[in-house]
Structure formats: C-alpha cells, structure tokens
Amino acid sequence: MDYATLLQVLDTTLRLATPLLLACLAGLYSERAGIFDIGLEGKMLAAAMAAGAVAALTGSAWAGLLAGIGASLVFAALHGVASITFRGNQLISGVALNFLSSGITVLVAQALFRQGGRTPPLTGDARFNPITLPGADALRDIPVIGPLYHEVISGHSVLVYIAFLIVPLTWWVLFRTRFGLRLRAVGENPAAVDTAGVSVVALRFAAVGITGILCGLAGAYMATALQAGFGREMTAGRGYIALAALIFAKWRPVAAMWACLLFGFFQALALRPDVVQAVVQVKVPVPFLDALPYILTVLVLAGFVGKAIPPRAGGEPYVKER
C-alpha cells in the first residue's frame, strides 16, 4: 500500500469515525451519570430522519441540524422520564425507543415525501460540505506532512471538527468542573449526591439531555454530511458500536476517541477490499470485511479487552433511603 492509498483510507476513517465518536460521547455523559442508554441507535436514526427531512424542505443544513437535535432530544426526554422519573428498566426503555425510532422514521419520511421511506437527495447548502482548512493548499507540496494535512485533516465538514473538539471539551467538563464532579458522583453513588443537597434527578436529566444533543449531531451528520439524505435504518448499528467503543474506552473521553477511530478504520477497510487484498495477499470476502466492526464489537462486549468497570450506580434507578 502506498502513502496516497493510506491517506485515502485514513481520510475515510475520519469521516466514518465521526458519527461513532459523537454517539460514543453521548453515551459517555449518560452512563457516567448512571443511566444506561442502549437507545443511542434510535436517537441517531430519529435525528438523521429529522435532519434529512428538514434540510430537504428548507434547503438549509443548519436547519436540518437543529431539527435533528430536536428529534433526538424528544427521544432522550422519553428515556429520561421512563428511567429517572418512573424508575423503569433502562435497558427496556432503550430497546423500546430503538424499535419506535426504527418504525416511525420510515413512516414519517414516507408520509412527507412518498419516496419509499427515504428523504429526497440533498444538494448544495442542504448538506454540510467539506471545508478546506487554512493553508491546506499552500502546504500540500511539503513531503509527508503536507499531503497528510491536505488529504486527511483538511477537507471535512464542520461537524467532523466539532466532534473531535468535543473530546477535550468533555475531558475538561468531566474532570475540571463542578458539573463534571457531580455528574461522575451521581453515576457512582447517587446517595452521596443526594445527601450533599444536590438533586439527583436534575443532574441525571441534564446528562440525558446532553446525550440527546450529541446523538442529534451524530444523526444529522449521517444524513446531511456523510450521506445526502435519510434512508431506512441508515445508522446500521452504529449506536451499538458506539456503546462497544465506550466500554472499550472504559468510559474515558480520550480513549473513546481512539476506540472510535479504530472502529472507523475497520469500516473504512470494508470500503476498500482491494487495499486489504494488497496488504494481506489473500482475497478477503467483502461481507467479511463488512462484518469486521461488528465482530470487534462482539469481542469487546464479551470482555476480551480486560476488565471494564462501569459506573457503579449504572442502570439502577435511585430510590431515596434512610
């Protein structure tokens, strides 16, 4: 594999890792606060549909993004009410919302556009288009670094840069702010937060809300940047892969980024069977390459990456006791 090909694969890796990363960080906020969210997938899908539809109707990618975040927040609120207010089972709530999202997105898209459950193809300002970073063209002739900057780093949509900026931001929020301290505490021992006179319910809703916003970004990215419009089940299990990455990363933001890049790399390889064949000298069936990220997911979830200790109060509704 030559350098140019490698850069192409890395470029694709970055694009494919972005929705994973946004969803993974979304899950991180929720789970650090003690709310398991298996419904990342459903939220992304709802956001993708809403973003695709509104972008098609208004011609504005930004309007689509807001709609996507709104749709995702509605699902997040449902999950919050079920699991925080009514202390329901968080896994069941998440699974139910995934089913709901899977059906309702196609239904609404069909009702609006009558194109078989898809939204119309987006063009121009209805999509987030690649932006060229300053100096990318000027530096492209510098050996090694120039092409890396021009081909891989530069030339993505603004959402990609936002996603990667949220990584250090999340680290800072979690470990350097009052909100982060309380968020981590409520996921470890909500009774400690409660007896300190801080509302467990408000904190957990805030966390679930952030999850909603980030899933909204992820979904909108899928429909208006990575692809040009919403299609049935277009998230294709990315919500679950993000959960696997979260466990792989042991609920830490920077590690989450590397985990998502790894999964994104496998997804990028699946798009380039010719490259894989050139490297391993064996013809690898394309379906196997397609399945690779999911196989990795299963391996991670089965605990082959060492012991990952989730937040101790995760999955348990908080009931006040003496």
Partner 1 sequence: MATQAQNMGRQATAAPFAIELKGISKAFGPVQANKDINFAVPKGTIHGIIGENGAGKSTLMSILYGFYKADSGQIFINGQLTAIPDSQSAIRAGIGMVFQHFKLVQNFTVLENIILGAEDGALLNTSLSKARRVLRELAQEYELDVDPDALVEDLSVGHQQRVEILKALYRQADILILDEPTGVLTPDEADHLFRILKGLKDQGKTVILITHKLREIMEATDNVSVMRRGTMVATVKTAGTSPEALAELMVGRKVLLEVDKGTPNPGKVVLSVENLAVRDEHGVERLKGISLEIRAGEILGIAGVAGNGQSELLAALGGMMRASGRVTLNGANLPLSGAGSDGQSRRAAGIAHVPEDRHHHGLILDFSAWENMAFGYHNAPQYQKNALFMDNDALIADTEHKMAEYDVRPPIPSLAAKSFSGGNQQKIVVAREMERNPDLLLIGQPTRGVDIGAIEFIHKQIIALRDAGKAILLVSVELDEILSLSDRIAVMFDGRIMGLRDPAHTNERELGLLMAGVDAAPGGGAV
H helices of 249-285, where? 253-271, 273-280
By beta-carbon proximity to partner 1, the closer residue of 199 and 277 is 199
Residue written as tokens 């909108």?
Answer: 220
Structure tokens at 133: 């970073």
Strand, helix or coil for residue 116: coil
Q: Which residue's CB is nearer to partner 1, number 160 or number 203?
A: 203
Q: Which is nearer to partner 1, 136 or 192 (CB)?
A: 192
Judged by CB, which is closer to partner 1: 141, or 321?
A: 321
Report in angstroms how near the CB of residue 252 gets to partner 1 at its nearest. Answer: 13
Nearest approach, Cβ of residue 177 and partner 1 (Å): 6
Q: Give backbone dihedrals phi and psi of 140, rounded to 5 degrees, phi first.
A: -65, -20
Least CB distance to partner 1 at residue 83 (A): 21
Residue 320 CB, nearest approach to partner 1 (Å): 7
Min CB(249)–partner 1 separation in Å: 17
Q: How far is the CB of 180 from partner 1 (least distance, A)?
A: 8
Residue 284 CB contacts under 8 Å (≥ 6 apart), including other chains: 273, 276, 277
Q: Which of 134, 161, 174 is nearest to 150 (CA)?
A: 134
Identify which of residues 123 and 195 has a Cβ nearer to partner 1 in the complex: 195
Q: Rank residues 95 and 198 by Cβ distance to partner 1 and give the closer one.
A: 198
- Give the residue from 259, 251, 228, 271 showing the smallest Cα distance to 311: 251
Identify the residue whose tokens are 């696997």. 244
**Residues 58/249, Cβ–Cβ less than 8 Å:** no
Q: Which residues contact 121 (CB under 8 A, 6 or more apart)?
A: 228, 229
Shortest approach of partner 1 to residue 198 CB, angstroms? Answer: 5
For residue 156, the cross-strand partners are: 131
Question: What one-character DSSP code corresponds to residue 131?
Answer: B
Residues forming beta bridges with residue 131, ordered by sequence position: 156
Residue 264 or 314 having the CB closest to partner 1:
314
Distance, CA of 310 to CA of 262 (rounded, Å): 21
Residue pointed to by tokens 């991670």:
300
**Nearest CA among 75, 88, 119, 34 for reference residue 213:** 75
Instruction: Considering the complex, state which of residue 64 and residue 190 has its C-beta at the smaller distance from partner 1.
Output: 190
Can you give the binding site for partner 1, defined by CB under 8 A?
Answer: 176-182, 184-185, 188-189, 191-198, 312, 320, 322
Q: Cβ 250 to partner 1, closest distance in Å?
A: 12
